[in-house]
Structure 1
Amino acid sequence: MSVERTFECEAVPTWREQLTVRSFAVSAVLGFFLSFIVMKLNLTTGIIPSLNVSAGLLGFFFVKSWTKILEKSGLLRHPFTRQENTVIQTCVVACYGIAFSGGFGSYILGMSSRIANQQDQGPSTAAINTKEPSLPWLIGFLFTVSFVGLFSVVPLRKIMIIGYKLTYPSGTATAHLINSFHTPHGANLAKKQVVALFKSFIGSFLWAFFQWFYTAGDDCGFANFPTFGLSAYDKRFYFDFSATYVGVGMICPYIINASILLGGIISYGILWPFIETKSGIWYSADLKRSDMRGLQGYKVFISIAIILGDGLFNFLAVAIRTAYDISRRKKQQSDASSLSFDEIRRTKMFLQDQIPTWLSILGYLILAAVSVVVVPHIFPQLRFYHVIVMYLIAPVLAFCNSYGCGLTDWSLASNYGKLGIFVFCAWVGVHHGGIVAGLAACGVMMSIVSTASDLMQDFKTGYLTLSSPRSMFFSQVLGTAMGCVFGPCVFWIFYKAFPLGSKGSEYPAPYAAIYRAIAMIGVQGTSALPANCLILCLFYFLMAVLLDLMKVVADRRKWRIRGFIPNPMAMAIPFYIGSYFAIDMCVGSLILFVWQKMNKRQADAFAPSVASGMICGDGIWALPSAILSLAKVKPPMCMKFFSGADYAKLGG
């Protein structure tokens, strides 16, 4: 069926008409609250599900409701179009995307003395190798580096979208969603989905509020309920009643949730108990639990080995696939006569409002020049020539990431960031602040390649909804600007209200310790590893590569086991923080599985909305919870669990 014939009788608004005050007002509200949710996920496990559906659905609901009120009162001047809906979705995703790509839970927090003092020794804890988060420099740094990626790939939009016809699966799915909203049947379904979202939102929020009353002390409340007994609780196996991760489990594929659980079983069930038996042999028995020379070092570095193995394999796989795809496309000749009505109309609209190439090049050069001055001022450990090198190689990396994302829907921004850590840590050296230099370089590289692929995804969405490239670009710029303010402000609330990254904190920020440990390896080499850790790291590195290789071969040959091969990246997270959240996510998978067995059509239509509501409700509670914490308001009760022997010692 032709999608565009459905909308053929509707006039396409100009790019200026697509950019409305109401769309940006709704985008600001949604962007702010979704930034809270992403920040909470970023500071707990680092697993961020796609919230594009929520952004598009809520944007549709709010503006559609507003226009209906105006229409009934006779004051409606501009109808709500799918192009305006696309602008809202683009702006919101760009805004809350900064809460993740801004590195608040990884390289930013990894620079702090709070993380450094937990795991470092020697010169790596010196003042030159730490930098405390501060609201002014966070906002200034993000404004300096977050827009560069937008200009780096603008000249390639025609080649990527029309020439190579890259799919950009997330962008395509978002476009189909928005197109369906603006048909009569789609609008009716969207209303029902919004109702389901708000019901689960309210239930999740109230449940989080109820749990707060029982958290007056350390390890108190439902989040520390020893579901499978105290022994399993000590091994980080328990259900913590988090609506957020039940919702995340409903969105994530089954294999991701199973991989996380498997990683927890291997690490906390087998590997760590075995290494603990080597206390006094492999490492000193007198070390603190947080000392990187002891068990903590094995947890961090083996997690890194799995992440690097998975990242390196995917990097090479995407690079090879990209090179092959480009060479194959050069040999093919396009046949204009085979284009469908939809493709002809979309191509015509996509080529109407062009963004001048000279403007994108000039914008890139100006922003690069600003960064050469500002970034070394914020991070004296970096020199101007370091920043120049980053901006010389950034366009190539941005192209590679954008192209690979178009093929696989997999952004490798974090892998480019880790590469930057190794290169610049080794270049600067530990005695000249190499750790902070490497983490800052990671931030620059991640921001450029991440925003570049995000913009190309938006161009694909705009292409499929007849939205102007200019409106897409301006909405991305405005959303990024919002994120550069909202992201640091939201992080600052968490930073002041909770002990982020601390042992036992409800916000452990696992990637902060992992990224700093990567920087330690960059400046110290393998000398940073405890005894026999290198052998274990090599084993798990190769295991990650082997699992990825098996997945590729199984997919190519269509083996039945291809859906049961674990994901190494998902396995790595519980190696460091345990698998308590994996139980929640598996519960989410179970709910979805039962729902699909009972009514698959209903589950497919409403499960993403219900899951998004659960994530949003529990996530938004973080705001009043932080305010109460800053105001020194404590919960009235503490619900805690003891063994019978400990209870007897307390006089029970």
Structure 2
Amino acid sequence: MVRSGDDDQERVGGDSTEKAFEDEYVPPWQKQITLRAMVTGLILSVVFNFIVCKLNLTTGIIPSLNVAAGLLGFAGVRSWTAVIDKCGMLKQPFTRQENTVIQTCVVASSGIAFSSGTASYMLGMSPYVAAQADAGNTPNNTKKLAISWMLPYLFVVSFAGLFSIVALRKMMILKYKLTYPSGTATAYLINCFHTPKGAKLAKKQVGWLFKSFGCSFIFGAVQWLVKREEECGFDKLPTFGSKAYAKRFYFDFSPTYIGVGMLCPYMVNISLLIGAIISWAIMWPMIEAKEGDWYPANLGSSLHGIQGYRVFIAIATMLGDGLFHFGYMLVVTILSFRKKTSRQKDSSGEEGGEEGDEEKVRNEYFLKDRIPNWAAVGGYCAIIVISMIAVPFIFHSLKWYHILVAYLIAPILAFCNSYGSGLTDWSLASNYGKIAILAFSSWVGLENGGVIAGLASCGLMMSIVDSASGLMGDFKTGYLTLASPRSMFVSQLIGTAMGCIITPPIFWIFNSAYKLGDPEGPYPAPYGLVYRGIALLGVEGFGNLPKNCLKLSVWFFFAAVVINLLTQLLKKFETKYRIYRFIPSPMCMAIPFYLGGYFAIDMCLGSLILFGWQTYNKQKAKDFGSALASGLICGNSLWGIPEAVLALAGVKAPFCMKA
């Protein structure tokens, strides 16, 4: 029997997921959000925020951490409840609904580390990054990064997305039955964890995760021991020769990016390597040969020199890729929306009679704890009013009417993004943010602080669009695990609040210990300069670009559009050989244009390890590959905490390893 908190009983027939849980007690929504769940969520939120922040500050490539969040949440609470149960003090068993709440809270919190823009639009406001861009380096177009304004700004803008489309949850999940692949996969894993067979596998996965975590953490410590000076360490070894090293082709011994490579699709990693070869092995040497002709000599990191080609060609490629996907997803959303609407009109309610018992049970629990529409609309309107008052105090170049326009447009974009991610698992939040930069920076103008206005509006738009799609994906997870929509919504609110509090201090640790945004440093944070470059395009146009930079940028913009168009056409019409799988991603190819190929080599090694493992033992690779990769990422990333503390204390490593 499936029982609710009020001890209602419902028989589940047939061989189904819910049949395995037919004797499981389903607690009411208030008991799904337990103290132990929130404590576990807080601890994991700190860990995952640190990981996301570090990844953002290095390459900006963030793999899906849902599996690790669900797995670690399961391991933490199951271990605790096992001990309490042996003492005879266990009052409430650990359920899959509680596991879902933990995962939702952690992912919502770590999502703030991404959408907060501490490594992108916020970093682009800093005087250090502005000095690299030269143009627009004026007091009203820069802002010193400080927790005193970052934390309240995040609190003001990060919750709006949760209220923007929550009223559409029934339509998205029940009426149109959107897949939300990540949400569905997470639900599948959580359901598996809580079956007897799945629990045994989960314990083994936790073992793999902690073993790889320990090895990765220890290796991070070993790497620090031999890095007394900037030119020392494993990452300074010319593994492919000095000439390749000068072109940023080397293996930097990063367990983090080996793990990321194991989690990312093969074509993502290959695209990164292709982009590094095209740029650093072919294009940049050719352009550098034009120094003194195309651009003045000895400009260093100025955007008027070679750095300008690296940044603006990357921006053009990303914009081409982003605008194509924006248009494509808009078309897909409209066509799918119309098709589903007409299908439902034709069926005239006949689908309801074909519902299986499993779907009836899930629908019952999903509709049971309603979130009032007046609460959603009222919450969003309250946030608009607060933002119109508070944000102009933080960013003087943004006026109340700019903010009002952004909040009126945002729900439409949030719906498009949420619907699109439900169909394809693509979230285009960063692309909507880039469009906002161009629109608002151009509207405000350079003299009135248009660079800061554009970057701040990017944060507002990105936060709303990203959190809205994340919430709807979590509703799908909750639907498939019988977790209450109300508990999902509340855990999202709690996780978002955690992220707003945790992210600024973690960023401050990095910002105090290292020079963030230095292209030659350990944390180049490439998107800081990229996002500022987009804002400069908005306020100044293309007049200040180096010679022939605009022509090359236009070519790469259209190349990105053509590559994506070709990929979609092959997906639709070519089925036998599936050639589209071997077409690289323009967005991924653009990332190494600024950074080089060292991290792409790490990630390709991760793909190679996973491929070899799958060839040797496919089932074992499937069961434990994600756990191993997550451990590598967590261990090496968390070594960054003591490393940053040592850097702040002025402690230097005892040894120096040089080639």
Shorter-chain-normalised TM-score: which range?
over 0.9
CA contact (8 A) 2:519 2:526 kept: no
Partner of 1:318: 329
1:411 aligns with 2:466: no
Partner of 1:160: 172
Deviates more, 1:217-226 or 1:366-375: 217-226
CA contact (8 A) 1:2 1:341 kept: no
1:93 aligns with 2:93: no
Cα offset for 1:217?
1.2
Q: Which segments of 5 or more consecutive residues in structure 1 lack a partner in the other structure?
A: 642-652
Question: C-alpha distance in 1, partners of 2:395/2:158?
Answer: 16
Partner of 2:4: none
1:585 aligns with 2:596: no
1:178 aligns with 2:196: no
Cα offset for 1:503?
3.0
Q: How big is each residue's C-alpha offset from its partner over 1:158-195, in whole Å with a ceiling of 9 and x where there is no partner? A: 00000000000000000000000000000000000000
Partner of 2:531: 515
1:158-557 equivalences in 2 (<5 Å) = 158-285=170-297, 287-333=298-344, 334=349, 335-556=351-572, 557=574
Please give the secondary structure, in 2, of the residue aligned with 1:527: coil
Question: C-alpha distance in 1, partners of 2:408/2:544?
Answer: 31
1:611-626 equivalences in 2 (<5 Å) = 611-626=629-644
Question: C-alpha distance in 2, partners of 1:423/1:94?
Answer: 28
Q: Number of aligned pairs?
A: 638
Cα offset for 1:370?
0.2
1:75 aligns with 2:89: yes
Instruction: Give the letter for the 2:40 counterpart.
Output: V
Question: C-alpha distance in 2, partners of 1:607/1:341?
Answer: 35
CA contact (8 A) 1:372 1:388 kept: yes
Instruction: Give the letter for the 2:130 counterpart.
Output: A
Question: C-alpha distance in 1, partners of 2:43/2:70?
Answer: 13
TM-score between the two structures when normalised by the length of structure 1: 0.97
CA contact (8 A) 1:223 1:241 kept: yes
Partner of 2:69: 55
Instruction: Give the letter for the 2:360 counterpart.
Output: I
1:131 aligns with 2:147: no
CA contact (8 A) 1:520 1:528 kept: no
CA contact (8 A) 1:521 1:528 kept: no
Question: C-alpha distance in 2, partners of 1:136/1:457?
Answer: 32
Question: C-alpha distance in 1, partners of 2:567/2:161?
Answer: 31
Q: How big is each residue's C-alpha offset from its partner over 1:106-163, in whole Å with a ceiling of 9 and x where there is no partner? A: 0000000010001223xx1010000011001110000000001100111000000000
Cα offset for 1:219?
2.5
Cα offset for 1:31?
0.4
Instruction: Give the letter for the 1:548 counterpart.
Output: N
Instruction: Give the letter for the 2:534 counterpart.
Output: I
CA-based RMSD = 0.8
Among 649, 653, 657, the alignment partner of 1:631 is: 649
Partner of 2:16: 2
Question: C-alpha distance in 2, partners of 1:16/1:213?
Answer: 49
Question: C-alpha distance in 1, partners of 2:161/2:380?
Answer: 8
Cα offset for 1:103?
0.4
Q: How big is each residue's C-alpha offset from its partner over 1:192-234, in whole Å with a ceiling of 9 and x where there is no partner? A: 0000000000000000100001111123200111110000000
Cα offset for 1:345?
0.6
Q: How big is each residue's C-alpha offset from its partner over 1:242-293, in whole Å with a ceiling of 9 and x where there is no partner? A: 00000001111110000000000000000000001111111112x3221111
Cα offset for 1:561?
1.6
Question: C-alpha distance in 2, partners of 1:4/1:148?
Answer: 34
Instruction: Give the letter for the 2:59 counterpart.
Output: T
Partner of 2:43: 29
Question: C-alpha distance in 1, partners of 2:111/2:430?
Answer: 13
1:562 aligns with 2:557: no
Question: C-alpha distance in 1, partners of 2:267/2:336?
Answer: 28
Cα offset for 1:5?
1.1
Cα offset for 1:383?
0.6
Partner of 2:117: 103
Cα offset for 1:315?
0.5
Question: C-alpha distance in 2, partners of 1:220/1:322?
Answer: 52
Please give the secondary structure, in 2, of the residue aligned with 1:305: helix
Question: C-alpha distance in 2, partners of 1:342/1:529?
Answer: 60
Cα offset for 1:502?
1.1
Deviates more, 1:182-191 or 1:525-534: 525-534
Cα offset for 1:528?
2.7
Question: C-alpha distance in 2, partners of 1:463/1:351?
Answer: 10
Q: Which segments of 5 or more consecutive residues in structure 2 lack a partner in the other structure?
A: 1-14
